[in-house]
Every structure is written in structure tokens, then in C-alpha cells.
Amino acid sequence: MNYTLTPVKLIENWFSERYSDNLQLSFRVRDQLLSVKTDYQRIDIFDTYDFGKLLTIDGTVQMAENDEYIYHEMITMVPFYMAETTPKAALIIGGGDGGAALRLLDLGLERIVNVEIDNHVVELSKRFFPEVAKSFNSPKVELIIGDGIKYMKESKEKFDLMLIDSTDPVGPAEGLFDPAFYRDASRRLNKGGVIVTQSGSPYYQPFALSKAKEGIGSAFSGSMTYVAFIPTYPSGFWSFTMNPSRGRGMGEVKPGRYFNGDVLKGCFSLPEFVKKIID
Amino acid sequence: MNYTLTPVKLIENWFSERYSDNLQLSFRVRDQLLSVKTDYQRIDIFDTYDFGKLLTIDGTVQMAENDEYIYHEMITMVPFYMAETTPKAALIIGGGDGGAALRLLDLGLERIVNVEIDNHVVELSKRFFPEVAKSFNSPKVELIIGDGIKYMKESKEKFDLMLIDSTDPVGPAEGLFDPAFYRDASRRLNKGGVIVTQSGSPYYQPFALSKAKEGIGSAFSGSMTYVAFIPTYPSGFWSFTMNPSRGRGMGEVKPGRYFNGDVLKGCFSLPEFVKKIID
């Protein structure tokens, strides 16, 4: 009997992120474009059908082309408008994809220092997400490949915004959730400025949120948590934690594709189960 | 060569809901407890590891033991507090699991008519989710197995709250998103009352939200949409749409496990991409 090799491919390729041993979100992918083990972590790039290109670190989704705007708007625009004076200088710890710097440039920041520990994140973003990583071409952005904890301890510069755009509090980012880091940060933050950190999924990672709250709370006499819906992150629900700040009573804010003036007000309204984590 | 049959089971059982051809959320399950094809739909019950028992209809998650409180609080407590007079009588269309009726009883409603088209949903909820379905034992709850569209057209009773707790606008629930249904509903709603419908995931089902907005908007001169985070529903982000109503200026509201006074205010703050769907 003769068989004919046909070009009909019946095998599907899926990338799955396990949220626990018992739950996973799976993206059908055209291909895995790259996999690299760096000194700090493993980075993979996928070409998904529904969310465009996807960057994962140690198996967890960091950035998807089609919804990165939500995370990046929320980690930049909320602190920008919550600062008590118009921010001019910003520090980003992590953020090697360039997405946070890109939005800060849009918001008119004049100087942005971006300290990313893993040069490979930057290089891969430039290659696979050029529309996001183009921020690194701006003369206003100074990219430092180095340890954000060390930078925060040793730098003499001061900033109006400080964004901790890190991975989760395991591995290289663990120290970015410690009170000692935020005590150093408090000496680098100008009066009326805002420091914010991503603080994980309240549903799956309540420890990330409570650690962020303790770290920021101990250095800044309190903290404020806000939330956003991000479909490609675990549970679809994400938190950010910042120092207490009242904003500067502007009228209209500039809307993004997710962020707007209503979101600025509503994002601090926390469900009861989230309040219980930080109470 | 002899092989020994060992009791070590290496096969894992997963139930997956496909959000599109290219994206799925998967729950690891101990077992599938039941599968039944009714006159209206296919119903399955799973015993999951992370979310307790799970009821699906036509392959889509309807109710998970561990997070049903979010959906059911949001479809009851928001309209309860947004009504302009204290609600006493409520109509539920769908809601065969009993979860909406349960919260309305907690809120002090005196009469609840629950019209569910598929008796099997009620029977399976009583068997697998007795803590939710126990609402049907209350003398304040009248359960009618029948067509909600027909009931709305023919009933003479009036209500302070009307909750359209249905499946998505395909199959038996399609007519529940039509303007004709809401015109009938408007004759059953007392002055100062609230009618609300679940209106799907704004991210994956923008058509459900825009259909709900058109249906309610045409019968009630406008509509209001609010949102909630529900981890077991597509994208983790869900919408509800109601007639315009201002509430009755109460002070404190009774908190639930998700709902509280902050959520009541914040849930109407819509991300820019959601506003674009209903603008």
C-alpha cells in the first residue's frame, strides 16, 4: 500500500502558562520563534494567533503584542496623574521591553533612566517588538544594564516617578519587593512624586500584593493599590501598589486605549477580597 | 516479560473552555460527574481541583463553586443599591442555579419569581450545588419552569428588580437580548426599579455588550454598563448592563465577598476600549 505525504497539517501547536498545577491558559501559536537561557532567566518568544507575538520569562507571559497597552498604560498613566507635581524625570527598574518608557515619552517626560538587569530582554524586544522597544532610541531615555537594587542604593539622582516594572517576586526580582529597597527608593523620590510597583494577581498571587504593600507601606507611611483587567495575565486581573499621593487636581486627562479619567478614579475601588489581602 | 498493573495513574484529566479557536482556559479535574443533553442545551458537571465543582452549558463555564459569589453578588447587589426605592419584588429570568435568588433573599427581598427554561439546570444545581440552590426552598421564591420571553410578554405582575441571568446571546438566550423583550420588560418594571442583564466579556464578546446596550437602551432611554473581574469567565472580565438609575443615596452598603461600597462606585468606570464598544 502506498501512502502520499500531503501538506495537510493536523497537529496544533499550543503554548500554555500554568497558573497553578491545576489551571492553565493556552495560546495556539504559529511557531515558537526563539528560546534563550540567560544568566537570569529563560526567555521565549511565540507567534500566537490571537495576541500577536508573545514574550514569556520562565514560562510566564510578560508581554503580548495585542494587550501590552493595558499593562503599560496602567503602570505609567496612573502614577503620572497621581503625582502632586507634573513629573519630569522618571526611573524605571526592569521594563526591558521599553513599553513603560514609550508611554512616559508620550506623557512628556524629559528624562527617563531605565535600569534593566538582563540585556537579552532589551535585545529581544528590539528584534521582535520594535514598535514597543523604539523608546530606547530616544535621547531622553538612558538605558542602564545593571542591578536595579544596587542602582537604587548608589545613585545620587532624584526622580518624580519611579516604576518597578519587574517580574514576580521570585528569582531576580525578589529583592524589588523588600522594605530595604523601598527605603533606598524613598531617598531618590522627589517630594510629590510617585513610586509604583506591579504587585501581581490578587487572585493567584496574594503574597505578591501583600509583600508590595508592606515594602512600600514601611518606607512611605502607607500605600495605595489599584487594579486593572489584563486578559493575558493570570486570572485576567492585576494589581499595582504605590505610595499615598493625591494627584494635582487636573481637569481632563489624556485617554489611552485602556486608561481614561474614569479608570483613574475607578481603579482604586478594590473588591472586598482584595481589601482583605492588604488590610 | 511480565508487566505489573500498578495503581499509579499518570494520566491527567483536563476540561478546557475554548474562548476562540486559538485560546483556551483549562481546569484540571478529578472527574466529570455528569453529562446530559436536555431539550435546550448540553450540561456537564466537573469536579475541579482549583475551583470546586463546575457547571458548564454547551462547553462554557456557567458556575464554579469557588468564584460563583462574584457573578452572583454583582448581578444582584449592584442593581439592588442602584434602585431608587428599596426593592421588594424581583423577577429573575434564567438563574436556574439559584445563586441570584439566594443573594436577593440575603438582601431582604420579599417576593422572587424565578423563570428558568430548563428544569435540568435546577435539578442538577440542587444535586451538585445544594448550598447555592437552597434558595429554591424558600417560600419567598416562586420557581417557574418556562420561557422567560413568553412570561415577560404575558405576566401582569410588576417588579422592582428584574435580573436577566442568562447564557450568552446564542441559542435559547438569543431573544433575551432583543429590543422587543425589553419593551415587554419595561411594562413589568416599577418606577425607580432596575433591570439588568449579564452582557458578556467585553474583550471576547463585544457583540453581546452592544446588543444588550441596544436592547435596554431602546426601551429605557439609555443604559449603564458596569464590569467585574470573574476568573473563570472568558478573559476574566465581565460586563452587566442596566437601565439608567441613580440609586437612593444610602450611606453604607452591606459588603459581600467581592462587592462593597467602593465596588458600587468603581464598577461603572469603564476602560476606554469598553466605552468604544457602547459609544
Q: How far is A259 from chain B (nearest CA, A)?
A: 6
Residues of B in contact with A28 (CB under 8 A): 21-23
Q: What is the mean pLDDT of residues A249-263?
A: 91
A179 pairs with which residues across the strands?
Answer: none
B218 and B262 fall within a common domain: yes
Return left, alpha or beta for A51; rule: phi > 0 is left, psi -120 to 50 is alpha, else beta.
alpha
CA angle B152, B54, B200 (to 5 degrees): 45
Other beta carbons less than 10 A from residue B13's beta carbon: 15
pLDDT band of A170, cuts 50, 70, 90:
confident
CATH code of the domain in which A99 resides:
3.40.50.150
* Structure confidence at residue B251 (pLDDT): 76
d(CA B59, CA B61): 7
- Asked whether residue A28 is assigned to any structural domain, the reply reads yes
d(CA B50, CA B64): 10
Which residue of chain B has the CA closest to A29?
B22
Domain boundary pick from B49, B64, B79: B64
B74 and B180 fall within a common domain: yes
Mapping DSSP to helix (H, G, I), strand (E, B) and coil, where does residue B34 land? strand
CA angle A166, A82, A113 (to 5 degrees): 45
Of B20, B237, B273, the CB nearest to A236: B237
Q: Which helix (H) or strand (E) holds A218?
A: helix A206-220
* Structure confidence at residue A267 (pLDDT): 98
Query: Which residue in B74, B273, B276 has the most chain A C-beta atoms within 10 A of its own C-beta, making it the best mutation to test that interface?
Result: B273
A60 and A130 fall within a common domain: no
- Asked whether residue A202 is assigned to any structural domain, the reply reads yes
Closest CA to A123 of A142, A151, A143, A141: A143
Per-residue pLDDT tens digits for A187-215: 999 999 999 999 999 999 999 999 999 99
- Asked whether residue B6 is assigned to any structural domain, the reply reads no
Q: For residue B26, what is its C-alpha cell?
A: 483549562
- Structural domain boundaries enclosing B59: 14-64
If one counts the domains in chain B, the total is: 2
Known catalytic membership, residue B165: yes
B56 and B152 fall within a common domain: no
Out of A67, A165, A168, A184, the active site residue is A165
* Structure confidence at residue A3 (pLDDT): 66
**What ipTM is given for this predicted complex?**
0.94
- Asked whether residue B25 is assigned to any structural domain, the reply reads yes
B82 and B56 fall within a common domain: no
Which residue of chain A has the CA closest to B20?
A50
Contact state of B266 with A268 under an 8 Å Cβ cutoff: yes
A168 and A258 fall within a common domain: yes
A29 and A142 fall within a common domain: no
Per-residue pLDDT tens digits for B13-40: 999 999 999 999 999 999 999 999 999 9
- Asked whether residue A42 is assigned to any structural domain, the reply reads yes
CB A93, CB A166: distance < 8 Å: yes
Residues of A in contact with B16 (CB under 8 A): 26
d(CA B125, CA B45): 10
- Asked whether residue B147 is assigned to any structural domain, the reply reads yes
Helix extents (H) in chain B: 68-82, 99-106, 119-128, 130-133, 148-154, 179-188, 206-220, 261-266, 272-278
B82 and B183 fall within a common domain: yes
Q: What is the mean pLDDT of residues A110-114?
A: 98
pLDDT band of A183, cuts 50, 70, 90:
very high
Other beta carbons less than 10 A from residue B156's beta carbon: 6
User: Which residues of chain B fall below pLDDT 70?
Assistant: 1-8
Contact state of A23 with B27 under an 8 Å Cβ cutoff: yes
* Structure confidence at residue A169 (pLDDT): 78
Closest CA to B215 of B189, B173, B180, B166: B180
B95 and B82 fall within a common domain: yes
Per-residue pLDDT tens digits for A43-102: 999 999 999 999 999 999 999 999 999 999 999 999 999 999 999 999 999 999 999 999
Which residue of chain A has the CA closest to B229?
A237
B111 and B209 fall within a common domain: yes
Query: Which residue in A224, A229, A235 has the most chain B C-beta atoms within 10 A of its own C-beta, making it the best mutation to test that interface?
Result: A229
Q: What is the mean pLDDT of residues A256-271?
A: 97
* Structure confidence at residue A245 (pLDDT): 97
Mapping DSSP to helix (H, G, I), strand (E, B) and coil, where does residue A251 land? coil
| Cα–Cα distances in angstroms (integers) from residue B172 to residues A254, B188, B196, B259, in the given order | 42, 22, 18, 30
CATH code of the domain in which A28 resides:
2.30.140.10
* Structure confidence at residue B252 (pLDDT): 85
CB B96, CB B122: distance < 8 Å: yes
Identity of the amino acid at A155: S
Residue with cell 473552555: B17
